[in-house]
Homo-oligomer: A and B are copies of this chain.
Amino acid sequence: MSTELPSNPVTSRLGSGTRAFRTVRQLAEAAVEVFEESGFHLAQVGDIAERAGVSRATFYNYFASKEELLRYLVLEAFPALLATRETTDETPWQRVRSSTDAYLRAYEQHATLMHVWSEAAARNDEMAGLLRDMRGPFLARTERSIRRLQEQGLASSALDATYAAHALTGMVSNFAYTWFVEGVAYERDRAVETLTTLWACSLGIEKEPDDLP
């Protein structure tokens, strides 16, 4: 999995006070709105440009295509999606809870983008690659964490760490999808507690007194 992310092709060249910069921002924001309403394949360049208050031709001054615009949005959101604060003074249970919570919040923040991204990834190798690039660190971290727990005797050693990491991250991301994209109404606290409990118990992590609730 590549850790070298291509730097953003557009904004990196642009001073933040320029007119061009503003135009790009408008297009990016318009795109998120249009993608939310129509999805990636059905979104039209014309709609995005119109919503941004510029002409279609202007769109092409900045992005070679709809795909390129999505690429821009994805690369822009990448750091925020990957960000994690590692706190060392947490119990295993707390660590599961805080990373679940962080993931759900990041997903919520970028729900539309996540949706469109996975839509595009289904038929576009580069987008699929970027998605892998993003999932990768999560999976790797989860897998490492499972192995550590197994070594410490805190998690059942019968589990295949790799498969379990895939399954559990999938559980959370799938839950986030139905919640933030499909719009099923969940309560945050209950959602976080349920996912945390399932995750932790499935690995055999025991709840300590401090973990309440």
Residue in B119, B166, B181, B198 whose beta carbon sits within 8 Å of that of A167 in the complex: B198
Contact B158 A166 (CB under 8 A): no
Q: Does A92 contact B (CB under 8 A)?
A: no
Q: Which residues of B contact A170 (CB under 8 A)?
A: 170-171, 174-175, 178
User: Given A202-B199, A202-B201 in contact, is the A166-B156 Cβ separation under 8 Å?
Assistant: no
Q: Which residues of B contact A166 (CB under 8 A)?
A: 175, 178, 184
**Per-residue contact bits, chain A 155-173, to B (CB 8 Å; 1 contact, 0 not):** 0101110011011101101
Report the stretch among A13-21, A64-72, A188-196 that lies at the interface.
A188-196
Contact B42 A159 (CB under 8 A): no
- The prevalent SS among residues of A at the interface is helix
The smallest beta-carbon distance between A157 and chain B, in angstroms, is 11
Q: Does A186 contact B (CB under 8 A)?
A: yes
Residue in B39, B186, B197 whose beta carbon sits within 8 Å of that of A202 in the complex: B197
The smallest beta-carbon distance between A130 and chain B, in angstroms, is 14
Q: How large is the interface on A (under 10, 10 to 19, 20 to 34, 35 or more residues)?
A: 35 or more
Q: Does A25 contact B (CB under 8 A)?
A: no
Contact B201 A39 (CB under 8 A): no
Find the B residue at minimum CB distance from A207: B158
Contact A167 B195 (CB under 8 A): yes
Contact B159 A197 (CB under 8 A): yes
Find the B residue at minimum CB distance from A163: B194
Give the complex CA separation of A175 and B115 in angstroms: 17
Query: Which residues of A from 20 to 60 have beta carbons under 8 Å from B?
Result: 38-39, 41-42
Contact B178 A163 (CB under 8 A): no
Binding site for B on A (CB under 8 A): 38-39, 41-42, 115, 119, 122-123, 128, 156, 158-160, 163-164, 166-168, 170-171, 173-175, 178, 181-182, 184, 186, 190-191, 193-195, 197-199, 201-204
